[in-house]
Structure 1
Amino acid sequence: MFRNLFFAALVAALCAGLATSIFQAWRVTPLIFAAEAFEGDGNAHSHAQDTPEHSHDEAATTADSHDEDEWMPQDGLERTAYTVLANLLMAAGYALIIGAVSVLFNLPITFANGLLWGLGGFAAFSLAPALGLPPGLPGMPVAETLARQIWWAGAALSTGAAFVLVAKQRAAWALAAAIALVIIPQLVATPVVPDEASGVPAGLAAAFTAAVLYNGALFWVILGLAFGRMADYLASRPVTLANGAKA
């Protein structure tokens, strides 16, 4: 059983990772490139009002330091390859997570309920966190990384627990508790975003948020359906016993 779940998770991760990579290249990456053209515009404008020469020297020094200390993949094939690899690893991690939840709470993943698993994963890991921390483009001010990670994890775990509770218990109290679990993270104050100027247009930021959510929905639906289809296929195969007979 564990071998079948692991193999189903890997196949589902491959399908979802490749699909989300294609969607990112089509809709998400162009928005990131567009935002990078505005990155630093807000800070450059404020410095230019006071000491333009000092601002220019400081920017050059920062750029040199960035080039020397930080490695980044080159635009084009190299950047695309690393993006696809990162998506596949992310998909494998999420697939193993829902596989572990399936085993731990005795909630089988099948093709019939794969869509529900996908929608639940999207709501828990994409939609609920985005309500408090919408996706941000390069050049936009963001809160402290650790604080954002803690809030994101709390929202995802609480929302995911709500879906597991409803799946295991059909009582009215379970539904009320699940609703509370979904709402509570949204009542907790999200990390404070610094009040800094940003050169990224509001329309571009809104388009990026929508594209990321569409990408998340596509990713999770494919992951759930592919996982369920592979789980059904592997479960229907005859089991070979130690003496060579088939059960």
Structure 2
Amino acid sequence: MIRNLFAAALLAALAAGLLTAAIQHFRVTPLILHAETFEGEGGHSHGTEAVAAEHEHAEGTPAHTHDAAAIEEWAPQDGFERTAYTTLATVLAAAGFALVMGAISMFANIPITFANGFLWGIAGFVTFSLAPAYGLPPELPGMPAADLVARQVWWTGTALATGAACLLLAKTRASWAFAVAIALVVVPHIVGAPVAPDEPSAVPAHLATEFAAITLGTALVFWLVLGTVFGKLNDVFAARSATVPTGAIA
């Protein structure tokens, strides 16, 4: 069973990852590239005093220079290289989420099937995309953002609380379970996500809105495909195992 679950998870991740990467290539990446053209136009600026101070060195003192090319962080080149790395990262992320889904399925004793795979996908979307995005919407390059660690902590807490609420409702329909689930979903948003600094940004508002909408739409497709394909493959592998006699090589 574990072998079948693992194989179903990886194959479902491959399907969802490749489809999502294709959507990102045609719909998401162009928005990111467009936003990158605005970077540096509305953020912090460095005055001429700072530039001059960088080159001031006392006579006889070794010059302390910085080669911009040497300290610049590596990034894939636009085109095939960027697309390839994005696709690889998306497929690996899909594999991770699929394995988490499989582990939760085993822990909660709720098999992932073709009949409920859609619901697993909806739960994944709400847990990892929709609920966190309510406080931390997807951001484009050049937009002001809160402290990274604070955002990661809040995102993780929100995902865990929302996922626990979905799992609780999947296991029981008692009235107390609904009350606890609502509390789990609401509490992170009462606490509030880290607030981005009030800094100017040259990124147009319509571009940021379009990016957030397309990103969430892409995430919805990703989770629905992942859950549905995962469930279908689980059914196929389970049926195949049932037809193999005990002790026979599958």
Q: TM-score, normalised by structure 1?
A: 0.90
What number of residue pairs does the alignment pair up?
Answer: 238
Q: Is the 8 A contact 2:43 2:142 kept in 1?
A: no
- Aligned with residue 168 of structure 2, among 151, 165, 170: 165
User: Could you tell me which residue of structure 2 aligns to residue 241 of structure 1?
Assistant: 246
Distance 1:234 1:199, change over 3 A: same
Q: Which amino acid aligns with 1:145?
A: L
Q: How does 1:135-214 map to 2 (within 5 A)?
A: 135-214=138-217
User: Displacement, 1:52?
Assistant: 9.2
Deviations 1:11-53 (A, max 9, x none): 1100100010011011100100110000110137x55xx6499
The answer to whether residue 36 in structure 2 is matched with residue 3 in structure 1 is no
Q: Which amino acid aligns with 1:177?
A: V
User: Displacement, 1:189?
Assistant: 2.2
User: Separation in 2 of the partners of 1:245 and 1:127?
Assistant: 44
User: Separation in 2 of the partners of 1:191 and 1:183?
Assistant: 16
Q: How does 1:101-120 map to 2 (within 5 A)?
A: 101-120=104-123
Q: TM-score, normalised by structure 2?
A: 0.89
User: Could you tell me which residue of structure 1 aligns to residue 229 of structure 2?
Assistant: 226
User: Separation in 2 of the partners of 1:40 and 1:245?
Assistant: 62
The answer to whether residue 137 in structure 2 is matched with residue 134 in structure 1 is yes
Q: How does 1:20-31 map to 2 (within 5 A)?
A: 20-31=20-31
User: Could you tell me which residue of structure 1 aligns to residue 60 of structure 2?
Assistant: none
Q: Which amino acid aligns with 1:169?
A: T
Name the Cα RMSD after superposition.
2.2
Deviations 1:142-168 (A, max 9, x none): 111111111001111101100100010
User: Could you tell me which residue of structure 1 aligns to residue 36 of structure 2?
Assistant: 36
User: Separation in 1 of the partners of 2:172 and 2:68?
Assistant: 56
Please give the secondary structure, in 1, of the residue aligned with 2:223: helix
Q: Which amino acid aligns with 1:182?
A: V
User: Displacement, 1:245?
Assistant: 8.2
Which has a greater percent of helix? 1
User: Displacement, 1:64?
Assistant: 5.0
Distance 1:143 1:53, change over 3 A: closer
Please give the secondary structure, in 2, of the residue aligned with 1:43: coil
Percent sequence identity over aligned pairs: 57
Q: Which amino acid aligns with 1:86?
A: A
User: Could you tell me which residue of structure 1 aligns to residue 94 of structure 2?
Assistant: 91
Q: Which amino acid aligns with 1:115?
A: F
User: Separation in 2 of the partners of 1:217 and 1:66?
Assistant: 39
User: Displacement, 1:65?
Assistant: 3.0
Q: Which amino acid aligns with 2:27?
A: R
